[in-house]
Structure 1
Amino acid sequence: MPPSEPHSPPVRGHFIDGQWVPGEGPTFRSVDPSRPSVSLGTWRAGTAGEVDAAVRCAAEAARDWALKPLSHRIAVLDAFARALEAREDVLARTISREMGKPLREARGEARALGRKWVLTRACARAELAPVHPEGVPGFWDWRPLGVMAVLGPFNFPVHLSNGHILPALVAGNAVVLKPSESAPRCAEIYVEAWAEAAADTGTAPALLSLVQGDGETGARLVAHERVDIVAFTGSLAVGRRILAVLADRPWVLPALEMGGKNAAIVLADADPALAAQRVASGAWGTTGQRCTATSRVIVHRDIATAFLDELLSATRDWTPGAPLDEDTLLGPLATEAAWSRFRAAQAESVSGLDTILSGGGAAGPTADGWWVRPAVHRVVGSARPGRWRDELFGPELLVLEVDDEAAAVEAANDADYGLAISVFSRSRERFDALRPALRAGLVHWNRATAGASSAMPFGGVRGSGNHRPAGILSLRYCVHPVATLLDPGDGDDDDR
């Protein structure tokens, strides 16, 4: 058994009907990826009975919550946002310790929680108001769907779940959160803030419940008969399994964000230094563990040598460091499975790939951390290898040289995903000409593929999602419209 981290806070477990319960399921541990021999705590996975209790209590609480005026729900969530703000520092440090994210990035994630609420509050006031069509004796308004199951990811363990939870709650739903088993303590801190806000405002705490566990616990939650929305962030394979489970319940709304194989197109007129710096940040940030991470570069042959020289120069700054060190840019991979998968991919001899910068395991500040270094490979020959299309979720770039813009667009679209594509060019006109042909939900000009604005929609096409974009549009999968026609009196009526 790994030794425990000194001064680790006590494990709290599940939060069901306003009570913290340790649970009765199989145990699992959270570890620091930079020191995986040290345990951060031991949790128990949610059993079928615990999942059932969490969902049923949430459903009961949702009935009264849905009847509260929007102003009341906003006031409660204002209190929640204040409680989260008071925990920003401990959240940032816990994110860094549980998933290995450099502290500077973890602080940005913790701060984003409050910014998300400011945007969500404004959207709720604008979008949840009744609509009165001109010339029609009636209106439509919005009703919550009921209980949202949130299956959170490991790479942004609080920010991405928060992006579903706040819209769901303000719209009048209840939520059951099943976080990643890699970050159970992050979820506890988040839900502790909710428990405080609920107590301070006299709100039913069961509106946000927490069930810890792995994929088996998540599967129980998805399959529960009283779940009305499933919000998931993760792999395409798991997204497909969720849709299969929901096939017999088409009234359950799935909102799926399932990753990407994101491309940066570097045109002949691009600034090679600017493009290289931003490609490097998009590829190596969060050690390549972002759904929007850059993993492919399509560069015009005329600028390829200059671009690659600049890219290799920019990559020298990205060396493994302790996540809690203020200067660290590159932390470890978050899980042993990801580390093993990345090392195996780098050790594999792949036809059609020439290695420019060797990746794989790397020496870091601790002997047993899941450290890696960035990898850059050039695509050669006429056939692109399978890795051109398959998501690896680590710091790897595949570089393809092309002769014209048509070939660049075709190569960028040659993937099973369609989340983010960046175009680097000095010309806005050239970017605008290419943009309509690019199959992606996020298209950037002279910016990294990684990074998005909560004030805009976030989602992709093809294997990246199912057309339920989050971000500024996340309220849309939390409610359904109810059209009400009134007695027209002596006026005409549309007898459709």
Structure 2
Amino acid sequence: MYTLPHLLAPLRLDRWQQAECWPGAIIDGIAHYPSTPPRLLYSPIDRQEHGQLLPASAVEVSAAVGCAIVAFEAWRTVPAPRRGELVRRIGEAVRLHKTQLAQLITLEAGKIASEAEGEVQEWIDVCDYAAGLSRQLHGLTIASERPQHRLLEQWHPLGVVGVISAFNFPVAVWAWNAMLALVCGDAVVWKPSEKTPLCALAATALVLDVLRDFGDAPAGLIQLVQGDAVVGDHLASDRHIALISATGSVAMGRAVAQHAATRLGRSLLELGGNNAAIITASADLELAARAIVFAAAGTCGQRCTSLRRLFVHEEIADALQEKLITAYQHLNVGDPRFATTLIGPLIDDAAMKRMHAALAQAEIEGGRILIGGGQVRVGGNVPDGGCYVRPALLAMPEQTDVVHDETFAPVLYLMRYARLNEAIALNNAVSQGLSSAIFTTDLREAGAFIGPAGSDCGLANVNAGTSGAEIGGAFGGEKDTGGGRESGSDAWKNYMRRATNTLNDGHALPLAQGVRFG
């Protein structure tokens, strides 16, 4: 069984610990211990205290942004392939410490071992992706209507990127943003979740170690400021932040967007997802059941891509319902440090209260709990203090008000439908638009779902669950999910600015659109 002290030495976090307090900011590689009141840190596994955090102040946030500006001004002129080499080396460092990082994620976020390791692998994968991307930041040559003229489109480094990340992916989401930003020539100021500060310190420590050994990298490329929403508000409001990328709840995203909008700043938002799956009459039910259980119960339902709503064709609803009940009966809930555990704890008491409130409201609205929903008794591999719950499966008469809300917990609402167009309309009827899925063996049904009149989500999968996105594709959603895209495809363009150049290599000065002057 691993413990926090066991993990600190290889990650070198102990060099920043001061009388069991952790710094609220790492600015230019130097720890800052503000005089603000400390915040106690607990593990969701057993609610045991493992230190205190001294949140950053507005002064520290401004200092971090200022140092990042200086670093950006030097980094933007370093050739992109050289910037890619830095990110490649970061990936190698993460590979060396994958086990320790994953175990720290388990201790601080409550993820089971395989999911925690998968999250660190995402960081490694995005480093590989970004390193290759550093030689492919292509612009365009565009035909001009004027003789001896040409148009060029170039992409230049953007500036300082602010990143606000959530507890459920305490390392990966920052890496999606930061590794691409570094390759694109930007500096990064990171405000992580106040619930997972040690994961952020560990990630920062690894990157700073690589930066110190990299000759072309200026000090200050990566800055860390920790604390609650007030710190995030300061970051979003700073006019020197060229892009604020925020991942978390819809309410948080709205606040960030409003702060950025007052200064006409750019924001990239990846917010809540009330995700649905449609199970058609032709679906492979064994395949569907496996995908449903992981998507709904994995990470204790605390993914933005977790499955919340299930629309099942009336012809096969009874059969699938029985399969799901059987599968839920065999889900091992408990301490995520045990190899046999499949479901770890909810992050805190507030999350458990929200789950219980949603279940109670669902019953008021006509729902029936088929299995799960209760708190798991202490004993065996279930330690005292943690919020351990049984994933809940409910049969709902229709898509009621509670189903329209995203409960960040393992709650799955099962509803029946008769026609595919009805199910697609139900999928699209909520305000969020992140991830969706259809299970079918009918090519026409699959085509309808992923077509322009189908799912309105940013992710629309066929015979695959709603969670488990790969880094090669752009990740994000529509409507209240924020519209942002992170990670793969052309998401790198978020972190750069576009410049259109007109080049005249002749002696005449013809005007566009045939305009004549003089």
Does the alignment reach a TM-score above 0.5?
A: yes
Partner residue, 2:76:
66
Please say if residues 44 and 386 of structure 2, whose CA atoms lie closer than 8 Å, have aligned partners that are also in contact.
Answer: yes
Partner residue, 1:101:
111
Structure-to-structure mapping, 1:431-470, within 5 angstroms? 431-436=446-451, 437-470=454-487
Please say if residues 51 and 211 of structure 1, whose CA atoms lie closer than 8 Å, have aligned partners that are also in contact.
Answer: yes
CA distance in 2, matches of 1:256, 1:268: 36
Please say if residues 298 and 400 of structure 1, whose CA atoms lie closer than 8 Å, have aligned partners that are also in contact.
Answer: yes
CA distance in 1, matches of 2:180, 2:81: 14
Please say if residues 166 and 248 of structure 2, whose CA atoms lie closer than 8 Å, have aligned partners that are also in contact.
Answer: yes
Partner residue, 1:257:
270
Could you tell me which of 337, 345, 365 is aligned with 1:351? 365
Compute the displacement of 1:134 (Å): 4.4
Do structure 1's residue 33 and structure 2's residue 48 form an aligned pair? no
**What secondary structure does 1:394 align onto?**
coil
Compute the displacement of 1:124 (Å): 3.1
CA distance in 2, matches of 1:457, 1:5: 34
Do structure 1's residue 148 and structure 2's residue 165 form an aligned pair? no
Could you tell me which of 340, 344, 354 is aligned with 2:353? 340
Compute the displacement of 1:490 (Å): 5.0
CA distance in 2, matches of 1:493, 1:86: 60
Structure-to-structure mapping, 1:42-441, within 5 angstroms? 42-126=52-136, 128-134=137-143, 136-202=149-215, 203-250=217-264, 252-348=265-361, 349-364=363-378, 365-380=382-397, 384-436=399-451, 437-441=454-458
Compute the displacement of 1:205 (Å): 3.0
**What secondary structure does 1:125 align onto?**
coil
TM-score norm. by structure 2 comes to 0.90
Alignment deviations for residues 293-315 of structure 1 (CA, whole Å, 9 cap, x no partner): 10100001000000101111121
| CA 1:231–1:270: 2 relative to 1, 3 Å | same
Compute the displacement of 1:471 (Å): 3.1
> Comparing 480-489 with 154-163, which one deviates more in the overlay?
480-489
Please say if residues 276 and 308 of structure 1, whose CA atoms lie closer than 8 Å, have aligned partners that are also in contact.
Answer: no
Partner residue, 2:516:
none
CA distance in 2, matches of 1:360, 1:23: 41
CA distance in 2, matches of 1:63, 1:451: 37
Please say if residues 343 and 361 of structure 1, whose CA atoms lie closer than 8 Å, have aligned partners that are also in contact.
Answer: no
| CA 1:8–1:115: 2 relative to 1, 3 Å | closer
Amino acid at match of 2:392: A
**What secondary structure does 2:40 align onto?**
strand
> Comparing 61-70 with 482-491, which one deviates more in the overlay?
482-491
Please say if residues 119 and 472 of structure 1, whose CA atoms lie closer than 8 Å, have aligned partners that are also in contact.
Answer: no
Partner residue, 2:11:
none
Compute the displacement of 1:340 (Å): 2.0
Structure 2, unaligned runs of 5 or more: 9-13, 514-518
Please say if residues 138 and 486 of structure 1, whose CA atoms lie closer than 8 Å, have aligned partners that are also in contact.
Answer: yes
Q: CA RMSD in A?
A: 1.8
TM-score norm. by structure 1 comes to 0.94
| CA 1:484–1:40: 2 relative to 1, 3 Å | same
Compute the displacement of 1:493 (Å): 5.1
CA distance in 2, matches of 1:8, 1:442: 36
Partner residue, 1:23:
34
CA distance in 2, matches of 1:434, 1:474: 24
> How many equivalent residue pairs?
488
Please say if residues 353 and 385 of structure 1, whose CA atoms lie closer than 8 Å, have aligned partners that are also in contact.
Answer: no
CA distance in 1, matches of 2:53, 2:489: 34
Please say if residues 237 and 259 of structure 2, whose CA atoms lie closer than 8 Å, have aligned partners that are also in contact.
Answer: yes
**What secondary structure does 1:133 align onto?**
strand
| CA 1:129–1:407: 2 relative to 1, 3 Å | closer
| CA 1:445–1:62: 2 relative to 1, 3 Å | same
Please say if residues 459 and 470 of structure 1, whose CA atoms lie closer than 8 Å, have aligned partners that are also in contact.
Answer: no
Compute the displacement of 1:336 (Å): 2.3
Please say if residues 152 and 232 of structure 1, whose CA atoms lie closer than 8 Å, have aligned partners that are also in contact.
Answer: yes
**What secondary structure does 2:324 align onto?**
helix
Amino acid at match of 1:62: F
Compute the displacement of 1:34 (Å): 1.3
CA distance in 1, matches of 2:391, 2:490: 34
Compute the displacement of 1:112 (Å): 1.6
> Comparing 336-345 with 410-419, which one deviates more in the overlay?
336-345
Please say if residues 320 and 363 of structure 1, whose CA atoms lie closer than 8 Å, have aligned partners that are also in contact.
Answer: no
Please say if residues 346 and 360 of structure 1, whose CA atoms lie closer than 8 Å, have aligned partners that are also in contact.
Answer: no
Amino acid at match of 1:21: H
CA distance in 1, matches of 2:72, 2:502: 27
Amino acid at match of 1:480: R
Please say if residues 68 and 223 of structure 2, whose CA atoms lie closer than 8 Å, have aligned partners that are also in contact.
Answer: yes
Please say if residues 194 and 205 of structure 1, whose CA atoms lie closer than 8 Å, have aligned partners that are also in contact.
Answer: no
Compute the displacement of 1:142 (Å): 1.2
CA distance in 2, matches of 1:78, 1:384: 47
CA distance in 1, matches of 2:90, 2:510: 46
Compute the displacement of 1:467 (Å): 4.1
**What secondary structure does 2:213 align onto?**
helix
**What secondary structure does 2:241 align onto?**
coil
Compute the displacement of 1:110 (Å): 0.9
Structure-to-structure mapping, 1:462-481, within 5 angstroms? 462-481=479-498
CA distance in 2, matches of 1:366, 1:295: 27
Compute the displacement of 1:23 (Å): 2.8
Amino acid at match of 2:90: F
**What secondary structure does 2:412 align onto?**
strand
CA distance in 1, matches of 2:340, 2:209: 34
Please say if residues 72 and 187 of structure 2, whose CA atoms lie closer than 8 Å, have aligned partners that are also in contact.
Answer: yes
Please say if residues 236 and 464 of structure 1, whose CA atoms lie closer than 8 Å, have aligned partners that are also in contact.
Answer: yes
| CA 1:129–1:358: 2 relative to 1, 3 Å | closer
**What secondary structure does 1:193 align onto?**
helix
Amino acid at match of 1:47: S
Amino acid at match of 2:428: N
CA distance in 1, matches of 2:497, 2:59: 30
CA distance in 1, matches of 2:80, 2:5: 44
